[in-house]
A and B are shown apart, each in its own frame.
Chain A
Amino acid sequence: MPVATPAHLARIETELHRQSRLRTIYSALGIGVLIVFMVFGFNSADEANAGSFSDGITRLFDFPAEIIRLSFEAGWSWFGLLWHYFPFLLETIHMAMLATFIGFVGAVVISLLASSNLITNKLFVSTMRRLMDFMRAFPELVLAMVLLFLMGKSAVPALIAVAFHTIGALGKLFSEANENADMRPVEGLKATGAGWLQQIRFGIIPQVLPNYLSYGLLRLEINVRASTILGFVGAGGIGEQLTANIQWTYGADVTAIFVLLISTIIALDYISRWVRGRLIGTGSMVGA
């Protein structure tokens, strides 16, 4: 109908204009609400805080400046401090390593049980998923502090807490990897009469292992940070040393610990990125 077309197009155009105007209004409203929320939020948080923002902003760099000044005063003995705190750093790294290992093994088991393509019982799978959600939701600190009370001050309660959280966090990622795995190898193995464990071992694990390891390495980095934090509540390691020194403003010690911590985190970041690159590289070659 050639006559009706212009009117039709005009209607579409007005509708288009109307909608784009609406969108602009909505976006402006959204940004406005965000700004009001932020301003109001900052103000109310500022009031709830012990010191105010305007007072604090001038003092923001006082503490860093102070500890750096104290470190320079310490002179060459500062390097001795690095050596002194190194064993504590090692303790924290050991904690993170073992917690990641336990968490990794636990996560592999629980993720295989929580993958809907490997387990047919839907109820069981969803129960396992809820269990993982629960383990993931538990902040390490809450569990660690209760365990520290029950087991006395040592690294072990913190280790258990970190491992517990790791099982949940890695388990979720692993089960997603499992569910994305190609099922044809499993079917092939099933045809040869392989049992469930054999199907997993030869059909799934070779496909997902690079992913597992790369997630595990990422988690190791997170767990080093978590283990440091737990040192603050009495789990030992470098975190415990840091709290004590910060409280007394032993500047040189604080900077020595910071340097150790930050260089460990950066080193781990680089190592894990390098290994992950290699793992996923070989993984994709196997897939291709």
Chain B
Amino acid sequence: MTPHNGRSEQLSQQYAAVIHPSWRSRLAPLTIVAIGFLYLVYLFFYFDFANIGDRWRTDRAQIFALDSYAYKVHVETKWRDISKLKVALEGSRWETYKTLPSWIDQQADGSSIIDMGDFGVINLTKDRIEMNWAEPAKPIIIERNTDGTLKVLEGRPLPSWMRISKSKIDIRPDLFARVQITGNKVLIHRFFYGWEYFWFDFDSPLAGYSFGQTIDFIFDEQRQDPARSNLDFVGHEIWTNSLWLHKDVYVALMQTIFMAVMGTVMAAVLGLPLAFMAAYNVTPFASVRFGLRRLFDALRGIDMLIWSLIFIRAFGMGPFSGLLAIGVTDTGTLGKLMSEAIENTDKKQIEGVQSTGADKMQQHRFGILPQILPLFISQTLYYLESNTRGAVIIGAMGAGGIGLQFLGALRTGTDWENVAYISIVVLITVMLMDMLSSRLRRALIK
């Protein structure tokens, strides 16, 4: 037996429990993992993940995705009189173009040539529509019989993106172009990239102005509105945009930020004194401490959401109810946290201040406060960030602000571009608040 072997034997004896663990200690982690795994399997069936594909609405997802970065222009006409073309943004009654856009060329005899961009050209004549799509090269011609039925004259074999039913022919060569023909009308959708009328809405005199044109307009001597300067006019037009509702969105955003900031300030202002009163090294009365402790538990145990429901019942919908809900919940959390921090402060500093002859108030001010201030500031700033997100959520539940705007846009079921816009605004705001609070934290606590 070499000394080396003796050493390894010694080690194996010393660490017998590590090298050869008992069955119990080997089985325990395995049992936990097995139970966890069984639970996951149970949840898999509980939430019916196997059939998740059936519930997924591809059509809706496509509309949502397309609508959030593109807009469509409807061209609608009746077979009865094809010279009457109705061209409207998203088919809206309020956003109908008075003059035809440049991609529609109407002839003297009432027929028209509609340019579909990269996808092809549509020739619309009396009782006949001819579509020259980029692919396939052959034109597709559809005629309308006198009895109102439709007939595909040319274009066979039909491409897969053309669907014919008893009353309707639906042609969609691309996501960005669609033609629907029925017995009495023709509806053409042409899609364009971008957020149309983001700056100036449809009814604005500046609608469709480019950036350069707007700059020119601002420096133009001629005033659009005699009452105000052109710069003011541009600002006013953007602010009162009726399609994108910039005014409503940003006023609501301000309300949300306000709710978060005021709620946090309220929690800080109420929470710190209450925390002092609930700490045993400050307050000698056990009953006061006990009462405050239970108060903190109640304030924080009842969720922010439930508080907001109670306050909305009492004060009605609006940011005030929201800020109270945030303030009350965080008073509980901050109070509990800070009172524990106060109890954990170093006694030496307080005694040092006491030895100079300071009274109780001064001892707390100079002995305790400097010790807990960094934690207090960093917690409050952390709440500021999480409350911004919270304010969006309780806003949607009825407290108002951007959350409610978002819910409104979503409930229309059509304004997906607005949903996307508000989501982006919310996301940027929360990220900015996050950055701001961590910057402040770093600057204040070195």
Contact = CB atoms under 8 A, between A and B. Distances in A.
B302 A94 contact: no
Interface of A: 34, 37-38, 41-42, 45-46, 48-53, 55-57, 59-60, 62-64, 94, 97-98, 101, 133-134, 136-142, 145-146, 149-152, 154-156, 159, 225, 228-229, 232-233, 246, 258, 261-262, 265-266, 269
Contacts of A42: 262, 320
A48 B255 contact: yes
A98 B47 contact: yes
Q: Which 6 A-B pairs have the closest CB atoms?
A: A50-B316, A49-B318, A51-B316, A56-B315, A49-B320, A45-B320
A56 B413 CA distance: 35
Given A145-B396, A149-B60, A229-B305, 10 more contacts: A42-B320, A45-B258, A56-B311, A64-B310, A137-B427, A154-B55, A225-B303, A228-B305, A229-B393, A262-B301
5 contacts: A50-B318, A59-B313, A140-B393, A152-B55, A154-B48
Contact of A152 (B57, B297, B315, B392): B57
Contacts of A149: 60, 64, 410, 413
B316 A265 contact: no
Contacts of B423: 142, 146
A142 B426 contact: yes
A253 B266 CA distance: 32
A262 B60 contact: no
A101 B40 contact: yes
Interface of B: 39-40, 43, 46-49, 52, 55-57, 60-61, 64, 255, 258-259, 262, 265-266, 269, 297, 301-306, 309-311, 313-321, 323, 389, 392-393, 396-397, 400, 403, 406-407, 410, 413, 419, 423, 426-427, 430-431, 434
B47 A159 contact: yes
A45 B314 contact: no
A51 B315 contact: yes
A106 to B, nearest CB: 15
B291 to A, nearest CB: 18
A212 to B, nearest CB: 15
Contacts of A159: 47
Contacts of B319: 45, 48-49
A63 B314 contact: yes
A207 B164 CA distance: 65
Contact of B403 (A50, A53, A141): A141
Nearest to A35: B269
A225 B317 contact: no
Contacts of A139: 389, 392-393, 426, 430
A225 B301 CA distance: 10
Nearest to B431: A137
Contact of A151 (B39, B55, B318): B55
